[in-house]
Structure 1
Amino acid sequence: MSATFVYDGDCAFCSTCARFVERRIPTGARVVPWQRTDLAALGVTSEDAEGAVQWVDARGVAAGPVAISRLLRDAGGPWRPLGWLLGLRPVLWLAWPAYRWVARNRHRMPGGTAACSLPQAER
């Protein structure tokens, strides 16, 4: 099973970040919006996918900063140490609150729009 990185394709900020990953981070994973993939086949619910980015590989599913850590480690090169660092427990204790803050405020981030703050059902 090849890895898949799932993001919110209806969020302009998330899409901008995904394009950065595709252009700058040489991961072997598929980078796909959750709205355009078979979530059930990946073992991810729409609620999980709407709440945080997801990384799916043979080891299972990871979300939020853990997913980003796995993506960076998969990319290798200078990204790998950053991924390992992000994956350390003390760093994750800080990364999760930061990730949740960004997720709640993504409509205010560069590239974000007012639609980014709405639940999927209202977009």
Structure 2
Amino acid sequence: METSTFVYDGDCAFCTQCADFIARRIPTGARVVPWQFADLDALGLTVAECEEAVQWVGADGVRAAGPDAIAKLLAGSGPIWRMAGAGLRFPPVRVAAWPVYRWVARNRHRLPGGTAACSLPQEARERLYGPAGRPTTEA
């Protein structure tokens, strides 16, 4: 793998807004891609892992999830963002980061940009919106 990859939930409006923020504001050489359009096998990821948290697969094969993945993404960006990533890896912050991350993940449908679909399990989202997050049309 030549480029590191940051994988997020493309069916979630809140997650997509965060990914758009990364694309606009955080200079990174990583590929930022929704898991629904990523080659999970090539990345060594499972759907369950991607439903659980954002994922990082480094060009060196190192993997991380949740706030650890965010820290890895920030570590490869501009100076201010690198400092934020280092702060996220600082042990007392890292210990608090996972519970905060899980709270955000459970409540993402309530956060700015979130929608009701963000709170649904993947199976229910696919039933309602199709595998690519688009509404299904019944014939």
What TM-score do the two structures reach when normalised by structure 2? 0.86
- Residue 3 of structure 1: aligned partner: 4
Letter in 1 for 2:109: H
**SS of alignment partner, residue 62 of structure 1:** strand
**SS of alignment partner, residue 75 of structure 1:** coil
- Residue 107 of structure 1: aligned partner: 109
- Residue 86 of structure 1: aligned partner: 88
Alignment partner of 1:36 is 2:37 = yes
C-alpha contact 1:13 1:106 (8 A) present in aligned 2: yes
- 4+ aligned runs moved over 4 Å, structure 1: none
d(CA) in 2 for partners of 1:74 and 1:114? 33
**Identical-pair percentage:** 64
Query: 1:69-89, CA deviations, whole angstroms, 9 ceiling, x for partnerless residues?
Result: 011110032111110110122
Letter in 1 for 2:36: Q
d(CA) in 2 for partners of 1:27 and 1:106? 24
Letter in 2 for 1:110: P
The alpha carbon displacement at 1:59 in A equals: 4.2
d(CA) in 1 for partners of 2:41 and 2:61? 16
d(CA) in 2 for partners of 1:47 and 1:89? 27
C-alpha contact 1:44 1:61 (8 A) present in aligned 2: no
d(CA) in 2 for partners of 1:25 and 1:80? 10
d(CA) in 1 for partners of 2:17 and 2:122? 18
Alignment partner of 1:98 is 2:100 = yes
Structure 2, gaps ≥5 residues long: 126-139
C-alpha contact 1:3 1:56 (8 A) present in aligned 2: yes
**SS of alignment partner, residue 56 of structure 2:** strand
Q: 1:63 aligns with which of 56, 62, 65?
A: 65
Letter in 2 for 1:121: E
Q: How many residues align?
A: 123
- Residue 20 of structure 2: aligned partner: 19
